[in-house]
Structure 1
Amino acid sequence: MLSEFKTFIMRGNVLDLAVGVIIGGAFTGIVKSLTNNLISPIITFFTGGTSDLQNLKLVVTKELTFKYGAFLNDVINFLITAFVVFLLVKFVNRILRTNKKEEVKANPELEVLAEIRDLLEAQKKA
């Protein structure tokens, strides 16, 4: 059972997933820092001088308070993360598309060999 677990863990997919989760966690910290330390102060400047978006709230009664600043912070974090993931996927797709084009261009001999094969098969049938 231990050897099966070792085999499972050492497969490429599991290791790739682990690396992705770790990098994703680190990236989340960077995005939160970007939002809290750069974007929030800019928004704060235009919204009336509140020093932190987290503190923006709408107090209806003592018991009912809407903390829209925290929500706004989370929305900004999500949008930044989603945009960076979009750019990353777009970049990877472009690289993969370029590699496929190079593979097709790199093997013109395969087309010639396929034509020869087809001609030989046609001669056998005739």
Structure 2
Amino acid sequence: MKKGFIGEFKEFITKGNVMDLAVGVIIGGAFTAIVTSLNADIIAPILGIFGGVDFSNLKLVLGSGKNAPVLMYGNFITAIINFLITALIIFCMVKGLNKLQNGMKKDEPAEEAAPATKKCPYCASEIAVEAVKCPHCTSSLS
């Protein structure tokens, strides 16, 4: 049966992955506000003590007059710091979750994998378990 565009969209939007993505975007937006505040309200003033520079005020005026274009490279530096803080926090979270998940897996008994090879009884070469004839000595295996 052929589905129309609306039917395909309805199927896509009702999948659980889309709802998980929506929740992730909302939480990410809130997390961005926290990281921006961390940078603007805590890290930037601490850096200002040492360097006496507030990154948000750094700019380069390209021309003269009141309508001259202004390059706000301080805001760009602030955005880079925000990104690095966010990346560091996410890295630590993922690393912690992976460590927690690996710790849980260690408690489970490991299943041994079935051997993929065997030795030919005639020439002692390693051959596939499914082999009925040795490729090295051409002996028939039973």
User: Quick check: TM above 0.5?
Assistant: yes
Higher relative contact order (CA 8 A, sep 6+): 1
Distance 1:74 1:93 in 2: 28
SS of the residue corresponding to residue 104 of structure 1 reads coil
Structure 1, gaps ≥5 residues long: 115-126
SS of the residue corresponding to residue 20 of structure 1 reads helix
Q: Greater Rg, structure 1 or structure 2?
A: 2
Tell me the matched-pair count: 106
Structure 2, gaps ≥5 residues long: 1-5, 115-142
Q: Which residue is 2:101 aligned to?
A: 96
Out of 64, 69, 73, the residue aligned to residue 68 of structure 1 is: 73
Task: Using structure 1 for the length normalisation, give the TM-score.
Answer: 0.66
Task: Using structure 2 for the length normalisation, give the TM-score.
Answer: 0.60
Alpha-carbon spacing, 1:61–1:47, altered in 2? closer, same or farther (3 Å): farther
Distance 1:80 1:26 in 2: 15
Q: Percent identity?
A: 50
Q: Which residue is 1:14 aligned to?
A: 18
Counterpart residue identity of residue 46, structure 1:
F
Q: Does 2:47 match 1:39?
A: no
RMSD: 2.9
What do residues 83-119 of structure 1 show as CA deviations (whole Å, max 9, x unaligned)? 01101111121122122222226xxxx77xx9xxxxx
Q: Does 2:89 match 1:84?
A: yes
Q: Does 2:62 match 1:57?
A: no
Counterpart residue identity of residue 55, structure 2:
L
- Name the structure where helix makes up a greater proportion of residues: 1
